[in-house]
Structure 1
Amino acid sequence: MDFTLTETERHYQSRVRAFIQQHVEPAVPHYYEEMAGFGTDRWQIIPVIERLKEKARAEGLWNLFLPPSPHHDTEEYHGAGLTNLQYALCAEEMGRIAWSSEVFNCSAPDTGNMEVFHRYGTEDQKTQWLKPLMAGEIRSAFLMTEPEVASSDATNIQTEIRRDGDDYVINGRKWWSSGVGDPRCKIAIVMGKTNPDAPRHSQQTQILVPMDTPGVTVKRMLPVFGYDDAPHGHGEVILDNVRVPTSNVILGEGRGFEVAQGRLGPGRIHHCMRTLGAAEVALEKMARRLLSRVAFGRPIAEQSIWQQRIAEARIDIEMTRLLCLKAADMMDKVGNKEAQLEIAMIKVAGPRVALKVIDDAIQAHGGGGVSDDFGLAKMYANIRTMRLVDGPDEVHNRAIARLELGRYKVAH
């Protein structure tokens, strides 16, 4: 097994790393200054990110996540043409600063939504929505989770999508709809039920709903551990007799689960690699803090308990990175279905490892760790959600266990 990075992998990883070091990291203070200047009206476009986006696009570091197309030379809609493995290395670099992925037009949920348009969209859907999304002119949302059902089992989703002539009428209530707080959010992909009497995984459909459609109401924005994540945010959305044309259906009626599986596989890899980027930052902060503080007559870094924690952090990060890269490589070579075990394992392992490292880093900073001074508290809040998004740990562990047990079942 060869672990040497290819020329393409080194090229993009080093370029993204250099761009973040040269442009994004120095801009972090400006980001917080501009956010503070908004006062209570935090749901605004942040100018420093827009300036950085212009630089990134000019350097060709744009839409890196979009996979290679079979018609790459002629198709209008393509990014850098990186594989899952190649992009995973870039995603880890972006994970070092929570908002940096937007600089490269590679932030969720836009990445997943663009992949849906890229894989399953009609030419009209691509022209109307994929083109401005790829240009960074608009943003989008993905409305799946519902407050009134256990959405970890997506067959529970109750939002009704009812055919009425040449239209569909949508009624339901969604929450944790990430991105709806952004004033540029123009389109949402909504998952709902078109036929409750169909086979279990053929009841759901995904459909496009422009955010300015009558009946769409963002009821409230939901904070995560007190952080509002403005201007992106996570909203509760009411869909009250929302009417859209039948041409807004994605792929076809009853094919919502097919679309979801195509969307979520790559997204889980992106999330996990960004999570590892955050873990690396936390480890760095922890090490620097331990080296700079003295307790009981000697540097804290010399105390055995902290040496053990540092060692475990490095071991866990390295093991988890290899698992994530293996999953990405398998997706490229044998497809998402064959890589489902590895995808499920990394989705559980990535956040779990990162949270342990971040928690130790918070402990190393003492009271400062739970303040906003070192960025660790918000980092913990962000990564803690990763144990829930794209399927909670319990669902992935269930899938892992079933696959493992299946290897030992006696044929009857």
Structure 2
Amino acid sequence: MKRVVITGAGTINALAHDVPGTLRAFREGRCGISELVFRDVERLSVRIGGQVHGWDPEVHFNRQQIALFDKFTQFTVLAAQQAVAQSGLSFDDPLSYDTGVVLGTAGGGVNTWDENYRTVYEEGKNRVHPFVVPKLMNNAAASHLSMEFNLKGPSFTVATACASSNHAMGQAFHMIRGGMCKVMLTGGSEAMLCFGGVKAWEGLRVMSRDACRPFSANRNGMVQGEGAAIFVFEDYDHARARGAEILAEVVGFAMTSDAGDIVMPSAQGAERAITGALRDARLNPEDVGYINAHGTGTAANDKTECAAVAHAFGHHADALMISSTKSMHGHLIGGTGAVELLACIMALREGIIAPTIGYEEPDPECALDVVPNTAREAKVTAVLSNAFAFGGLNAVLALRAV
């Protein structure tokens, strides 16, 4: 079995348009959630989100690309360019044949759906742009990365709601560990912050109208976000041979199904994913110092996740740090696990634990160390990243310092 390491990272999200800016925001405990700005926002009940402000696609892409790229693809390509640049890799043959792409997204080209439904239903037009289908399809971003970087290995997209990114990164990990590929671009992207995208989530009645406060007794719901994070996963021997900087090692992955309810989470299913990741990574509970929680700020998720962590870690749970960066960048749905992996890497490399901001009142059902409001310095050598999705689909990654 091959060892798998991370040699490049890139992102754009509500906190910053790159990794250094995002990590700086994590360290500062800065909130990127703000008033939404887009067409018909006044018709929404929920008007806040982790929106990417200052985004101008014309700065990064030509007219032909913009005609083909939905916003979720634009975010993906930018983040991938950053990650590949950091990795120092060039995908010429034969490496191109041993490199692929696995990405996560829940909705794909939601902005394209929204715009073209308006065209047909509101404006009464009978024709849409011929590139609508290739622009909105969930695999568009993965396909464009394969073309952008000449990647001829396995490339596909995973769509498992809020666990999409973790599932995608887990598959990339398996492909390299099993010897199928030497390098994979992986992560996730989402761009649901448009009228239709927010209106659909409003219907679930799980959205906050003022703030995301994970684990706080007065939490009142999740806040949507948007953006992308992309990583270069690489065979350890390949990375060492070329003298690459290694950000962290991916050492374990597990996924489970609750087989219970389409929206209500199960502590047992989440616990099995956590213990499975520990087992796969050959880690003991006391080896783990930090967990980046799914931590949505909903009553159902937070208490269920805390119960799962407490059961999985036993007596060590009291010494464990757990935080939700969704309090800062919002819930990126299919892209959320990817952005959150940056907080895991920061914990391992810098010894800084990103906080759970907006924490105001202790909740006896969330009685863990949730690193409230202020980042903390702490040496950790192994971390987990949790993702628990609608449909009862759970995916947990384990990382270790190198």
Q: Which bin holds the TM-score, normalised by the shorter protein?
A: under 0.3
Which is helix-richer, 1 or 2?
Answer: 1
Which is strand-richer, 1 or 2?
Answer: 2
Give TM-score scaled by structure 1 length.
Answer: 0.25
Larger Rg: 1
